[in-house]
């Protein structure tokens, strides 16, 4: 069931996920389209998330946006960043920890190499925010050595997270705490729980699909969404994911399609990184419980694989 509509206000609106914004020339969503989108969202009873560009919006846009309950997602460098509900930083080094406040939710987009070089800086960020989402944009490029390095990095970061919890600051950190809190899959949901409306007035599975190929739309605001094979975006139709317990995994359907050509099938790299996070979360949970009772009843079993594909493949 559709729960969220992501409205991309401009063709240069910020990315908050794996995809890169590949448009340079701003193209603002027509005001009429924005108004239709807000009306449609109210009728369909979906939550709205606005993706903002860097430049300030005209006043009539700001007024229209305020007619509906919503979440604002902006780059840290955006003109109106102070009004954002979620602030996006490109690169760990670009985050000024002193400028953060404890009620902030931030997203840090980083590449693999930069993450490995800079992840220690997250130790200073974790005490300052309520939620930290780190998105490694190029996980498709992970090789065997990278998995080892990633595991070591998470093990180090888990020490800082544990200290926050022991110090009564239960920070949410997607790579290490989301799995601890979940009893079932809670993924991106693009195509099943969320759709994106691009500035051209067309629906897309998510913003990444818009940037990949503008003709790859799934309906428009005048006629409503028309997603073909919608079942393939649901968990029950994903043979690897439906038997998996890396509940926090993005299950990024855009990465799926890029790497395996099917929206319902994750790559080895996506599965392996999610399982390294899962296993690090399991160890973190144990470590926090050494100090005192914590989330009784929530358990993460020990497993001997990092890619559930090996458990479901039909040729072995």
Give min distance, CB of 276 to another protein, in A: 18
Give min distance, CB of 268 to another protein, in A: 6
Give min distance, CB of 233 to another protein, in A: 11
CA-CA distance, 217 to 202, in Å (whole number)?
A: 6
CA-CA distance, 206 to 238, in Å (whole number)?
A: 18
Site map for another protein, 237-256, x if CB under 8 A?
A: x-xx----------------
Among 66, 85, 262, 299, the residue binding another protein under the rule CB under 8 A is 262
Give min distance, CB of 260 to another protein, in A: 5
Among 139, 195, 263, 288, the residue binding another protein under the rule CB under 8 A is 263
Stretch that binds another protein, among 67-75, 95-103, 266-274, 281-289 (CB under 8 A): 266-274
Please choose, from the candidates 313, 203, 196, the residue with its C-alpha nearest in 3D space to the C-alpha of residue 265.
313
Stretch that binds another protein, among 3-11, 22-30, 90-98, 260-268 (CB under 8 A): 260-268
For residues 98 and 144, which CB has a smaller minimum distance to another protein in the complex?
Answer: 144
For residues 47 and 260, which CB has a smaller minimum distance to another protein in the complex?
Answer: 260
Give min distance, CB of 269 to another protein, in A: 8
Where does this chain bind another protein (CB under 8 A)? 228-229, 232, 237, 239-240, 259-269, 309, 312-315
């Amino acid at each position: 069931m559709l729960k969220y509509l992501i409205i991309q206000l401009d063709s240069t609106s910020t990315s908050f996920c794996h995809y890169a914004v590949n448009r340079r020339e701003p193209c603002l969503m027509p005001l009429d389209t924005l108004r239709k989108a807000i009306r449609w969202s109210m009728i369909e009873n979906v939550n709205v998330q606005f993706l903002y560009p860097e430049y300030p919006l005209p006043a009539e846009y700001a007024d229209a946006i305020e007619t509906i309950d919503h979440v604002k997602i902006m780059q840290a460098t955006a003109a109106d960043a102070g009004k954002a509900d979620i602030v996006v930083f490109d690169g760990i080094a670009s985050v000024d920890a002193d400028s953060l406040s404890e009620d902030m939710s931030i997203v840090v987009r980083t590449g693999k190499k930069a993450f490995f070089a800079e992840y220690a800086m997250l130790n200073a960020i974790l005490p300052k925010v309520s939620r930290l989402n780190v998105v490694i944009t190029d996980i498709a490029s992970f090789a065997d050595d990278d998995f080892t390095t990633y595991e070591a990095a998470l093990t180090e970061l888990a020490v800082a997270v544990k200290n926050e919890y022991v110090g009564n600051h239960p920070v949410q950190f997607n790579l290490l705490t989301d799995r601890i809190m979940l009893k079932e899959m809670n993924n991106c949901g693009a195509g099943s729980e969320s759709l994106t409306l691009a500035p051209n007035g067309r629906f897309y599975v998510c913003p990444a699909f818009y940037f990949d190929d503008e003709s790859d739309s799934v309906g428009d605001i005048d006629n409503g969404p028309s997603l073909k094979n919608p079942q393939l975006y649901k968990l029950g139709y994903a043979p690897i994911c439906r038997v998996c317990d890396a509940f926090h995994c993005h299950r990024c359907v855009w990465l799926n399609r890029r790497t395996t050509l099917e929206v319902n099938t994750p790559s080895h790299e996506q599965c392996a990184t999610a399982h390294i996070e899962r296993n690090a979360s399991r160890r973190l949970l144990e470590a926090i419980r050494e100090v005192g009772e914590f989330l009784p009843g929530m358990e993460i079993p020990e497993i001997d694989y990092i890619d559930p594909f090996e458990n479901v493949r039909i040729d072995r």
